[in-house]
């Protein structure tokens, strides 16, 4: 087991280096130019920026050479800083990238974590009941509701919930994660956070249970037709024991596979949902820095997610052993 983990960690280093190189080159080739945007803003303000000043600004940010060797040099400069534990400072305001991630990550993580818990609690039982009552009225109702949820765009559904529950009924706040001018602190803020984050979490849960439910239903139907399930029934085992002890255990294998992407999704934020509800989570902030072409933040944020993805895949491989005793890791 230890040898396998060390081998995978060594492979992860190679993968992360390749990912970082690809991301850096793609960012440098983006049509968005932070320096040019800054110069355009200065020109619109009435100030004529001399050409010499423009060149100095590009040189100051390390973006003066757009040739292949220049981009490669910039990448290695960034890589040296990364190996020293420094994600760099943003072009926009000179704040360390790690500080921005640390500041805006908690609210996105809280939303994603709560939404994921409810997604599993709702989707898996719905998938099981739809599979065990195939072609029944229950199966059709669940499938229709899920398909409706899958078909709705997040920006449309989020705005629909906000219009109904925030503007018309007034049950929940329409935007933000906390009311302006509040005097509460500590645990007293929990009810405030609950009221503000309820609608974003509800949006994510309703729109995400469909895929999980369909996957559970499909896998359950495949397992329920297996020979060992018929044998278990022939031995006189109760239907509940057959479903949850024998069938559901094998259904967990594809579910574990999907968990590989769960870890980065908890920290990446929900960009569209955060935009709709005006939440300053990491997804909303990352979109702003992306639109500005802020290379240090984009690189640091994406590498953070890449590392989480590699860890998530490794954890999923290790969980196979727990779910399926037939799997042996060498």
Nearest to 273 by CA among 213, 203, 182, 226: 203
The pTM of this model reads 0.80
State the first-to-last Cα distance of the chain, in angstroms, to the nearest integer: 6
Nearest to 43 by CA among 29, 53, 58, 32: 53
Q: What is the 3-state secondary structure (H, E, C) of 230-278?
A: HHHHHCCCCHHHHHHHHHHHHHHHHHHHHHHHHHHHHHHCCHHHHHHCC
- Residue 112 · residue 265 · CB < 8 Å: yes
Give the count of beta carbons closer than 10 Å to the beta carbon of residue 31. 6
- Residue 177 · residue 191 · CB < 8 Å: no
In this structure, what token pair is assigned to residue 93?
């305001």
Strand partners, 148: none
- Residue 197 · residue 179 · CB < 8 Å: no
Helix (H) or strand (E) holding 210: helix 190-224
Q: Domains in the chain and their CATH numbers?
A: 97-323 (1.10.3720.10)
Per-residue pLDDT of the chain (330 residues; tens, 9 = 90+): 677 778 878 888 888 898 888 988 888 887 777 777 777 776 776 666 677 777 777 777 777 777 778 888 888 888 888 888 888 888 878 888 888 888 888 888 888 888 888 988 888 888 888 888 888 888 888 888 778 777 888 888 888 888 888 888 888 888 777 766 555 555 667 777 788 888 888 888 888 888 788 888 888 888 887 777 788 788 887 777 778 777 777 777 777 777 777 778 887 777 888 888 888 888 888 888 888 878 888 888 888 888 888 888 888 777 776 666 666 655
Distance CA 63, CA 28 (A): 9
Nearest to 157 by CA among 106, 212, 208, 105: 208
- Residue 61 · residue 15 · CB < 8 Å: no
Q: Number of C-alpha atoms within 13 angstroms, CB side, residue 38? A: 14
């Amino acid at each position: 087991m230890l040898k396998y983990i060390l081998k995978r960690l060594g492979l992860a280093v190679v993968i992360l280096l390749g990912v970082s190189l690809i991301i850096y080159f793609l960012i440098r080739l983006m049509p968005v130019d932070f320096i040019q945007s800054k110069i355009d803003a200065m020109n619109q303000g009435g100030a004529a920026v001399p050409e010499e000043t423009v060149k100095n600004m590009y040189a100051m940010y390390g973006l003066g050479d757009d040739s292949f060797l220049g981009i490669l040099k910039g990448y290695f400069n960034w890589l040296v800083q990364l190996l020293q534990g420094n994600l760099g400072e943003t072009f926009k305001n000179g704040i360390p990238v790690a500080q921005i991630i640390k500041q805006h990550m908690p609210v996105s993580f809280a939303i994603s974590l709560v939404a994921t818990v409810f997604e599993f609690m709702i989707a898996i039982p719905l998938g099981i009941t739809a599979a065990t009552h195939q072609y029944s009225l229950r199966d059709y109702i669940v499938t229709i509701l899920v398909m409706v949820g899958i078909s709705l765009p997040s920006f449309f559904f989020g705005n629909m919930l906000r219009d109904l529950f925030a503007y018309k009924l007034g049950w929940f706040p329409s935007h933000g994660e906390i009311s302006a001018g509040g005097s509460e602190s500590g645990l007293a803020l929990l009810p405030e956070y609950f009221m503000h984050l309820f609608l974003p979490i509800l949006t994510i849960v309703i729109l995400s249970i469909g895929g999980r439910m369909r996957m559970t239903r499909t896998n359950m139907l495949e397992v329920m037709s297996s020979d060992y399930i018929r044998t278990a029934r022939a031995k006189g085992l109760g239907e509940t024991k057959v479903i949850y002890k024998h069938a559901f255990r094998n259904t967990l294998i594809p579910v574990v596979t999907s968990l590989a992407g769960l870890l980065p999704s908890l920290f990446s934020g929900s960009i569209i949902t955060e935009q709709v509800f005006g939440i300053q989570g990491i997804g909303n902030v990352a979109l702003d820095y992306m639109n500005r072409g802020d290379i240090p933040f984009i690189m640091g944020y994406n590498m953070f997610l890449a590392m989480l993805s590699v860890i998530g895949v490794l954890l999923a491989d290790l969980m196979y052993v727990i779910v399926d005793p037939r799997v042996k890791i060498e």
